[in-house]
Amino acid sequence: MAYWGSLALSIYPDAPSVVRALAPTEPVILNRPQAAARAARFYAEKFPGKSLYAVKANPSPDLLWTLWDAGITHYDTASIVEVRLVREALGPEAVLCFMHPVKPAAAISEAYHVHGVRTFSLDTVEELEKIVEATRGADGKAAEDLSLCVRLRVSSEYSELSLASKFGVDLADAAPLLQATRQVADCLGICFHVGSQAMTPFAYVQALERARAAIVDAAVTVDIIDVGGGFPSIYPGMVPPPLEDYFASIHRAFESLPVSYSSELWCEPGRALSAEFNSMIVQVEKRRGNELFINEGAYGALYDAAHVDWRFPVKRIDSHGQEAHEGAMEEFAFYGPTCDDADYMEGPFVLPADIKPGDYIEIGMLGAYGAAMRTRFNGFGAGETVNVTDEPMESQYSGKRRDPRVSDNVVSLR
Ligand SMILES: *Cc1c(COP(=O)(O)O)cnc(C)c1O
């Protein structure tokens, strides 16, 4: 186990210091392990159940080590490559759950027989049969230690990114699947995903009501209720209520479900545990009116900015590494470095009106579905990674609990 990975990175106080030291001509990823550790401790201490980190949001081993050290013991993996990665990074004690409802038989078999995975999700009888076959022993006997979570389709109406159409059994079809799964599972769970960046706790309350209906219809004993991911971070124009409000609503709804007294409550935060971990320094290579050509884009960490018009907070750092600025601000759009017209991020990103080629921009809150999305398309996607010790541009965990009555928890209608 290479526990020293993150220690090997250079440490700077903040992004301007990195610019002064490196004058980077390629994008630099900034890690903030202290922010990720704070998020992990928050979940470990305050979520009224078990928190599984959803690895796909950011599989960086540096982040995995940080979360592990801060008390996250369970990991939601979605592919055999993620299973191997987490096992390799964290060793035999990490509890891995394979929560993709459509898996190759070979992936299930390797996860169970080689990596000790016992928890799987599913949303069809076919997947259930596949899991039973792939986990049989050499003697042909069926596994007796499976925790199987039936993924229920729930609404994504309160979330910024839908996860409602691809996976999940409809409530109308859930009873026979729950009953069939109960026959072979040591532990039976119900899981769902309310969509990413859920802007109100009510998303979970509504989904838990659907879980209640499924349990009542099927008349089965349920041991695990897994409310999935969707817990929000903070971005421009998307300021959610405090996470404590989500936890309280979920706890209340869970306590009233007809489940066994010993049943467990789980959640699978991806974004909420990783968003604050990364920001990035990019350089302006050209300015055309209020369009900035920068050296990172749609095929890199700005995938969501390009494809779903996600907005990220930004700060200008001039070519001498100075951040101070007193003049007017303007709205800008970005072009990425590839030769593709689609490499365009509409924003708007609010920056000093006099920003010019050679200046740098720190783009914040790129830890979730940002740093993890980089490709090498067109020869871009390289660059250094360093650690910084300052605060992320926004935080859900800084202790300044906002008054929920003034939260901007309006869901944008798209
Ligand atoms: C992506 C995903 C998550 C994490 O979702 P976030 O919105 O990032 O919290 C959790 N569970 C499953 C099954 C997922 O597919």
CA-CA distance, 61 to 59, in Å (whole number)? 6
CA of 329 to the centre of ligand 1 (A): 35
Give the per-residue pLDDT at 187. Answer: 98
What residue ranges of the chain have pLDDT lower than 50? Answer: 1-4, 407-414
Taking the whole predicted model, whether its pTM rises above 0.85 is answered as yes
Give the per-residue pLDDT at 324. Answer: 86
Contacts for 58 with CB less than 8 Å, ≥ 6 apart: 270, 274, 277, 278, 367, 368, 369, 370, 371, 372
Our answer on whether the CB atom of 127 is closer than 6 Å to any ligand 1 atom is no
Going through 123-195 in order, the beta strands assigned E by DSSP cover 147-151, 159-161, 187-191
Q: Which ligand 1 atom sits nearest the alpha carbon of residue 56?
A: 1
Give the per-residue pLDDT at 53. Answer: 98
Q: Which ligand 1 atom sits nearest the alpha carbon of residue 231?
A: 9
Our answer on whether the CB atom of 196 is closer than 6 Å to any ligand 1 atom is yes
The CATH number assigned to the domain with range 276-388 reads 2.40.37.10
User: Ligand 1: which of 165, 190, 268 to mutate, most ligand atoms within 8 Å of CB?
Assistant: 268
Give the per-residue pLDDT at 27. Answer: 97
Closest residue by Cα to residue 286 from 221, 327, 216, 337:
337
Residues of the chain within CATH 3.20.20.10 domain(s) are 34-274
User: Ligand 1: which of 56, 67, 151, 191 to mutate, most ligand atoms within 8 Å of CB?
Assistant: 56
Whether CATH 3.20.20.10 fits 34-274: yes
Residues of the chain within CATH 2.40.37.10 domain(s) are 276-388
Our answer on whether the CB atom of 269 is closer than 6 Å to any ligand 1 atom is yes
Tell me which residue has its CA closest to atom 3 in ligand 1. Answer: 229
35 exposure class (CB count in 10 Å sphere: 0-12, 13-18, 19+): buried
Give the per-residue pLDDT at 104. Answer: 98
